[in-house]
Amino acid sequence: MTEPRTEPDVRKGLAGVVADTTAISKVDPETNSLLYRGYPVQDLAASQPFEAVAHLLWHGELPTGAELAELERLERSLRPMDDRTRRAIDDVPLEAHPMDVLRTAVSQLGGLDDTLGRPDGVLDPELNQGRAVYLFAQLPGIVAYSQRRRHGLEPVAPRDDLDYARNFLWQTFGEVPDDAVVDAFRVSLVLYAEHSFNASTFTARVIASTLSDVYSAVTGAIGALKGPLHGGANEAVMHAFAEIGTADRAEAWLDEALAAKRKVMGFGHRVYRHGDSRVPSMKAALDALVAHYDRPDLADLYAALESAFVERKGIYPNLDYPAGPAYHLMGFDTPTFTPLFVAARVTGWTAHVAEQQAANSLIRPLSQYVGPERREVPPQ
Ligand SMILES: CC(=O)SCCNC(=O)CCNC(=O)[C@H](O)C(C)(C)COP(=O)(O)OP(=O)(O)OC[C@H]1O[C@@H](n2cnc3c(N)ncnc32)[C@H](O)[C@@H]1OP(=O)(O)O
Ligand SMILES: O=C([O-])CC(=O)C(=O)O
């Protein structure tokens, strides 16, 4: 007698599946906390330059003064854009989404890296760490130019007398804003940098697990981040705010959205059930911007939609909810919001590519087949 076949346990969306170990960050829904290499993210956001957080994610420790100075020197030296990258960007239609521009540009950077062709050039950890810093240094110029060209503006050359956050704003707007704005921007970058096995990071790890190169992993991760269930939500929040208009209309708008079974972007999370650990820090940064730009109307709309949503669904905002309006106040146009997330998250993605390849196992789950049983091909 043959044993009855037991069906494998299908975990749709891999919900609740622990796919591997990681030493990079810990998302703890029980304590509603997020640690980068052991440090609470809100403490890093309160005090650390983004360059120091990047070093922490890559190397496991905060940098010494000398290490930070060396990373700053290297990052600043790697900022200028190659003409061939600019041409690749210019070939993308102006109407295309800036995430498409970014995906193309990162792919181009991979094509331009001739060290990939060396023996073991794809997997060499030292070369890959250099590529991580290169991507980190290049992305602000690419994101900034992508916004500027859509507004008919020329690129702005990077300045090596400015830190990462200030130079990013300089290259986007051609001026460095007040410290209050710079600081809110820096906080957003720290908070967006890393979040364990989220969809885009997992994508990067899947690609890295085939022993493909880091540019391919980052290009794929950009594609995963673009969707509105993931990074695209920060843009969708601003579209919703634009549709709603004023705080007094938030409840009616929400009721209509929920009646139509539309998801409200910027709320909910696969892992956190009682609120996203990063929201308090980002909300404080948003409050500072609201005060700086004197926009209490935006704060009112934010609060009205949040309280109506929490009251109706018992689901809390995620990081994209305060980040969207914060980027709007800083002057970024809405399609640039998710590219800003990319620029920050490239630090986490590249740390995960290194971690994956240091102890690799091809990521290849099973599926349960539910199509037709075996059948004969009809004769011709
Ligand atoms: C930085 C980041 O990437 S954070 C995530 C950004 N994404 C968003 O903001 C998109 C909006 N949010 C969502 O779509 C979801 O909350 C997700 C995708 C983030 C997580 O979802 P999951 O864990 O898969 O839960 P799921 O989508 O199944 O939601 C569970 C229930 O809550 C509801 N729900 C969850 N989030 C929302 C939301 N934002 N709006 C309306 N309903 C929601 C679902 O409709 C579902 O209800 P049902 O059981 O009656 O069908
Ligand atoms: O963890 C997730 O699923 C999504 C998220 O918040 C992030 O990537 O920052």
Tens-place pLDDT, residues 47-74: 999 999 999 999 999 999 999 999 999 9
Q: 230 C-alpha to center of ligand 1: Å?
A: 10
Closest ligand to C-alpha of residue 258 is 1
Which one of the listed residues 55, 195, 230, 328 is annotated catalytic?
230
Whether 166 contacts 182, CB under 8 Å: yes
Q: What is the pLDDT of residue 203?
A: 98
Q: What is the pLDDT of residue 3?
A: 62
Computed over every residue of the chain, the mean pLDDT equals 97
Task: Respond yes or no: is residue 269 known to be catalytic.
Answer: yes
Q: What is the pLDDT of residue 315?
A: 96
Residue 177, Cβ density class (10 Å: 0-12 exposed, 13-18 middle, ≥19 buried): middle
Q: 264 C-alpha to center of ligand 1: Å?
A: 8
Q: Is 236 in the pocket of ligand 1 (CB under 6 A)?
A: no
Q: What is the pLDDT of residue 1?
A: 53
Q: What is the pLDDT of residue 171?
A: 98
Tens-place pLDDT, residues 305-345: 999 999 999 999 999 999 999 999 999 999 999 999 999 99
The single-letter DSSP state of residue 12 is G
> Nearest C-alpha to atom 15 of ligand 1 is from which residue?
268
DSSP string, 210-273: TT--HHHHHHHHHHHHHSTTTTTHHHHHHHHHHHH-SGGGHHHHHHHHHHTT---TTB--SS-S
* Encoded tokens for 257: 């959205």
Q: 200 C-alpha to center of ligand 2: Å?
A: 8
Q: 258 C-alpha to center of ligand 1: Å?
A: 12
Residues in the chain: 380
Q: Is 270 in the pocket of ligand 2 (CB under 6 A)?
A: yes
Q: What is the pLDDT of residue 340?
A: 98
Q: 314 C-alpha to center of ligand 1: Å?
A: 12
Q: Is 188 in the pocket of ligand 2 (CB under 6 A)?
A: no
**R_g (Cα) of the chain, nearest Å:** 22
Q: Is 198 in the pocket of ligand 2 (CB under 6 A)?
A: yes
> What is the side-by-side order of every strand in the sheet holding 33-36?
25-28, 33-36, 39-40
> Nearest C-alpha to atom 22 of ligand 1 is from which residue?
270
Task: Respond yes or no: is residue 230 known to be catalytic.
Answer: yes
Task: Respond yes or no: is residue 352 known to be catalytic.
Answer: no
Q: Which residues of the chain have pLDDT under 50?
A: none
| Percent helix, percent strand, percent coil in the chain, to nearest 5 | 60, 5, 35
Q: Is 249 in the pocket of ligand 2 (CB under 6 A)?
A: no
